[in-house]
Structures are given as C-alpha cells and as structure tokens.
Copies of this chain bind each other. A is one copy, B any other.
Amino acid sequence: MSISVGILGATGYTGSELVRILYNHPDVTITYCSSRQYNGNKISEILSFLRGYLDIYLEEFDPEKVRQRCDLVFSCLPHGLSMDFVPRVLDNTRVVDLSADYRLKDVSIYKSWYKEHSSPRLIENAVYGLCEVYREEITGARLVANPGCYPTSVLLPLIPLLKAKLIDPRGIIVDSKSGASGAGRGLSLKTHICEAGESFSAYSVGRKHRHIPEIEQELSIASGEDINIEFIPHLVPISRGILSTIYVRALNTRKVLVDGLKSFYEGSAFVQVLDDDMPATKDVRGTNRCLVGIEVNPITGRAIIVSVIDNLVKGASGQAVQNMNIMFGLDETQGLDYIPLFP
C-alpha cells in the first residue's frame, strides 16, 4: 500500500518532524507540502538538514491540490487557521489536525480559550487522537484531532488510573516541564539561546495555559465527574522532551497502581510502565514512546507519577503518524519503531 500524504505548514517543527518520520515509513509518499511563508522554495532550502533527502517544492495551500493529491493531510497550521482550511478538503481527503481546533468538544469552551469557531459542525465527528485510548474510534475517523503535547504526557498515565478508580479525581496537580521546541520556530527572546539557555523558568502560572481545558475534558470523561486541575508549565533549556510530575491522592498501593496501568497498556507498544525506576526525557528522545514511573509516599498517601515523552514525536508528529497508521489499518508501529538517540 502507498498512502499519498500532504503536510500543511511543513516548515515548522511539527511539519519538519513529520517529514523526518515519514521519510522512512514504508507505506507513505509525500505528495504535497504547503508553506505560506516559503511558498516557491524547495523545502531543503528552508530546512538545511533535509538537503539530499527531500527535494519537494513548497506550495501555497490549495484545497483542490490537496483533494487531488492526498489520501490524508496532516495540518500543522496554527489553531484558528486550521478550522478554516480543514472543511475544504475533508470530503475527499482524511485529516489529522495537529492544531487545537477540533480537540475541545464544547464549542463555548473553545471560544473562551481561543476564539469563535468557524466550523463547529465538524467538532462532533472529530475523534480525539489519543491512540491508546481512542484506538477504535480512530479506525473509522475522517478527522482526527491530534492531542497536545502536554495533554499527551498527562492523560496517558491518568486516564487508566481514573477509569480504574485507583486515584482521587480531585486535587490533581500537574507540574510539567518542556523543551524549547514546544514553543515553535517563531522568533522570540524567550527562545534566544542566550536567554533561554542556562536558565529555567515557569510560565503561564495560574489558570492560563490553553492545554488546561483539553486535559480537563479528557480526565472528566475518564472519571465520570467534572475535574479541575492545577497545571503549571516550565521551560527547560533543551530542544526536545516533556516531563510531567503529577501529584494525586492514591486510592490503593503503588503495586496496584502500577499493575493497573500495565494492564491497560498491555499490547500498546509505545507506553511503558517502569517497575522500579523513574524515566528521563533522554530515554524517549526521537521516539514515539511514553514512559511512566510511579511512587507512593506512605506519609502523605500521595502518588507521584512521572511521565516523559518527546514533545515533537508522541506529543505531536509521531502520534499523528500513529493515528494515520490506525486510520489506514496499518500496524500501529509502522515507521515509528526506533531506539532513542543517545547520547
């Protein structure tokens, strides 16, 4: 089988990561790459590391070309833009949308965190693409809303524990740390190497980060009750990697929690629950894996859950390809089974 795929917004970090992953995917041909800013250039002129790998020209976004050339399109457009473009290709081309535009089921919540939604009727049929949780729904989906990077790191450990009533749904605190590629390729003093390097900081402190409603929506579904979380993101002076430290009241022993999580992820190649260790972001760099470690503090009764992902792979482009694999009936790990780059 060869799936013809397009990438909208191919020169940002999630777009170029899709190119990297798809280059070695045995069932995929890249037939279309769009870029507003660099339209007309070869992609390797803009992303020098692609010299000699992919010589495709960047084109303007043209829904007709997408419909004609692509079985599936990955939209790496910013939120707000994606919801304008997706409806124009969806009749003919399946979509994995890496923006936030179709993640939130409640359009009024979308509006309060982002803006007025321009294609609200599509939301209902969009599937939230957290592969290990919504695998069946993804199989038949035409439009998959690829999860955010922070949410992926938080939801993978928490959803099974909430479903199995092993942790208290109230009072969840998430302290997340992300590498700088999560902020994208746009220019800012915040990601200037002289200002982000050799420093560490929190940002969006309070109820401010747009991944909060996404996390709360999915945790509420899993637990069956309305959940409000504390979520504080931090910037780590590295390129790739998210580590989330999650604090929650344990309703059972560490062993039961670990076993519950392992049992949920049996047969899921990308989520690994550690027996007696805590993961580091380097353990997943460049891979589609999520590693989870759990401790329970006997004095406080609290579970401390540490999860790591590569924000550009399992947190974005890798999970997008995993979604494509599921949508097209391929082995879920096709093109995604790599050992991390270490050191």
On A, residues with C-beta under 8 Å from B are 13, 16, 19-20, 23-24, 47-53, 173, 175, 177, 179-181, 185, 187-189, 191-203, 205-207, 228-230, 232, 234, 236-241, 243, 245, 247, 272, 274, 277-283, 285-286, 289, 291, 293, 295-300, 302, 304, 306, 337-343
Provide the residues of chain B in CB contact with A24, threshold 8 Å.
Answer: 337-339
Provide the residues of chain B in CB contact with A20, threshold 8 Å.
Answer: 339-342
Contact B194 A192 (CB under 8 A): no
Contact B296 A339 (CB under 8 A): no
Contact A236 B236 (CB under 8 A): yes
Contact B279 A206 (CB under 8 A): no
Residue on B with the closest CB to A198? Answer: B238
List 16 additional contacts besides A173-B302, A199-B285, A230-B304; criterion CB under 8 Å.
A20-B340, A48-B279, A180-B194, A191-B194, A192-B192, A193-B237, A198-B198, A199-B282, A201-B281, A205-B304, A207-B300, A228-B299, A230-B247, A230-B300, A286-B341, A341-B341
Number of copies: 4
A246 CB to closest chain B CB (Å) equals: 10
A288 CB to closest chain B CB (Å) equals: 12
A241 CB to closest chain B CB (Å) equals: 6
Contact B300 A228 (CB under 8 A): yes
Contact B339 A23 (CB under 8 A): yes
Residue on B with the closest CB to A277? Answer: B48
Cα A274 to Cα B51 with chains together (Å): 9
A332 CB to closest chain B CB (Å) equals: 15
Contact B237 A243 (CB under 8 A): no
Cα A341 to Cα B247 with chains together (Å): 32
Which residue, of A194, A198, A237, A337, has the highest number of chain B Cβ atoms within 10 A? Answer: A194
A209 CB to closest chain B CB (Å) equals: 11
Which residue, of A203, A236, A272, has the highest number of chain B Cβ atoms within 10 A? Answer: A236
Residue on B with the closest CB to A206? Answer: B295
Q: Given that A173-B173, A194-B185, A206-B295 are contacting pairs, would A280 and B200 also be in contact in the complex, using a CB cutoff of 8 Å?
A: yes
Provide the residues of chain B in CB contact with A272, threshold 8 Å.
Answer: 51-52
Contact A343 B48 (CB under 8 A): no
Can you pick out 28 interface pairs between chain A and chain B where the beta carbons lie within 8 Å of each other? A13-B194, A13-B343, A20-B339, A20-B340, A20-B342, A49-B283, A49-B342, A51-B274, A52-B289, A173-B173, A173-B247, A185-B189, A187-B188, A194-B239, A195-B282, A198-B239, A198-B241, A199-B282, A200-B280, A201-B281, A202-B306, A205-B293, A229-B300, A230-B300, A232-B245, A236-B237, A239-B343, A286-B286
